[in-house]
């Protein structure tokens, strides 16, 4: 594993601690929000607005990173904002304050994403990008295993004491901030044209290679039908299982996700990113179909096992795919632009899922997603673009 450099190790550990903090809260977020008066539809809107904020900032700050020729300052600021947002969530229960705190967390993610992924891409060559992004994703997701386990242990001792948990989550966030100080900046040639406005990254669509636009069309169509994972967790709760079961299933999913990310990265480098992504997409459709009709706890575990394989076969693979298609000098812009549109479309998907959940049935929101996934598979089967 000589291709795993010092910078890749540090970024992976930073992501592990950050996800430790974030994922300590993610599986209890639906229950916490419901406990302070949020309905399913308002949870969907809250998540949608937060993701939209992250989206716009991912595009803008990704382009700004390429423009000024720097990565590390964006990484450090982004992780700092995400860390301080954790205690903010518990400080007050006013809906607007909760929205502000949640948006601060997502803004931090938006500021760091493009720069961090460009750092990862710059540290390797096209032949190893699947492995590198898979390696980073494995550490990132291992934090999502440790976080919920900590939350589960805490709630066993202090049942439904969600607010204190938000303060506890600040500790691994501080560890992440500290580690970012060890990242060394590489010299990057800055561009002459500045990122003047929040939407300046949109110009990259016209400048990007045709393969990038073709790929983005498929990825964003998928984002439009792929709502927040919170709805999958709410479905388990909806079937009558308690908080401990919800968190346990989520921990299991993330463990599978973490362990499968690096092997899926190797697979992507060997058979191609399109084929690997399609395998993940097929698993996604199976999971949503099963989740819509399942009532059995053990089947939920099996479905989340498949969901972990889906995530491992798509998340890191997508960014490695984009990195190989775009020009090196535009890496942060390309990933930031994709992430921006992806977050906006996720906002729409979460809002639509919340409406269907509330006004039709919870199962109907998942069935619609499963049908859309089947249609999207046809697009990727017919797609003909290079992976390398």
Residue-wise pLDDT tens digits, 180-192: 999 887 776 666 5
Q: Is residue 37 predicted with pLDDT exceeding 80?
A: no
pLDDT 10s digits, 206-236 = 888 888 999 999 999 999 888 878 788 888 8
Does the reported pTM lie above 0.75? yes
How far are the Cα atoms of 83, 100, 210, 257, 388 from residue 325, in angstroms, in the given order? 33, 36, 10, 25, 7
Locate the DSSP E strands across 232-342: none
Average pLDDT over residues 314-332: 87
pLDDT band of residue 196 (cuts 50, 70, 90) is low
Other C-beta atoms closer than 10 Å to the C-beta of 344 total: 22
What mean pLDDT, rounded, does the chain reach? 85
pLDDT at 191 (0 to 100) = 62
Distance CA 290, CA 306 (A): 11
Average pLDDT over residues 3-23: 90
Distance CA 12, CA 33 (A): 30
Q: Is residue 239 predicted with pLDDT exceeding 90?
A: no
DSSP label at residue 227: -
Token readout for 284 is 């996604």
Q: Is residue 17 predicted with pLDDT exceeding 80?
A: yes
pLDDT at 386 (0 to 100) = 60
CATH superfamily of 6-185+201-382: MFS general substrate transporter like domains (1.20.1250.20)
Q: Is residue 98 predicted with pLDDT exceeding 80?
A: no
Enumerate the domain spans of the chain: 6-185+201-382
């Amino acid at each position: 594993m000589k291709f795993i450099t010092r910078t890749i190790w540090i970024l992976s550990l930073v992501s592990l601690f950050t996800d430790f903090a974030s994922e300590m809260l993610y599986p209890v977020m639906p229950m916490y929000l419901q406990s302070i008066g949020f309905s399913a539809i308002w949870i969907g809107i809250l998540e949608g607005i937060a993701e939209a904020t992250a989206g716009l900032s991912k595009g803008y700050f990704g382009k700004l990173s390429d423009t000024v020729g720097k990565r590390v300052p964006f990484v450090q600021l982004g992780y700092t904002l995400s860390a301080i947002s954790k205690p903010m969530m518990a400080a007050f229960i006013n809906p607007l304050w909760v929205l502000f705190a949640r948006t601060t967390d997502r803004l931090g993610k938006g500021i760091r994403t493009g720069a961090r992924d460009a750092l990862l891409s710059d540290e390797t060559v096209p032949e190893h990008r699947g492995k590198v992004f898979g390696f980073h994703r494995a550490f990132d997701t291992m934090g999502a295993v440790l976080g919920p386990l900590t939350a589960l242990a805490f709630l066993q001792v202090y049942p439904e004491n969600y607010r204190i948990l938000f303060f506890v989550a600040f500790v691994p966030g501080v560890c992440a901030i500290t580690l970012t100080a060890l990242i060394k900046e590489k010299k990057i040639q800055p561009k002459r044209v500045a990122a003047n406005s929040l939407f300046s990254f949109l110009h990259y669509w016209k400048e990007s290679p045709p393969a990038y636009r073709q790929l983005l069309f498929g990825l964003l169509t998928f984002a439009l039908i792929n709502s927040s994972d919170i709805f999958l967790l709410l479905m388990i709760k909806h079937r009558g299982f308690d908080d401990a079961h919800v968190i346990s299933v989520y921990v299991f999913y993330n463990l599978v996700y973490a362990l499968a990310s690096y092997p899926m990265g190797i697979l992507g480098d060997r058979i191609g990113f399109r084929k690997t992504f399609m395998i993940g997409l097929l698993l996604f459709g199976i999971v949503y179909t099963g989740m819509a009709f399942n009532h059995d706890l053990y089947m939920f575990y099996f479905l989340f096992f498949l969901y972990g394989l889906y995530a491992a076969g798509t998340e890191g693979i997508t960014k490695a795919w984009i990195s190989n298609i775009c020009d090196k000098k535009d890496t942060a812009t390309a990933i930031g632009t994709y992430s921006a549109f992806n977050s906006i479309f996720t906002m729409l998907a979460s809002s639509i899922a919340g409406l269907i959940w509330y006004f039709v049935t919870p199962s109907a929101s998942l069935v619609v997603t499963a049908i859309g996934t089947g249609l999207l598979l046809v697009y990727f089967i017919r797609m003909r673009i290079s992976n390398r």
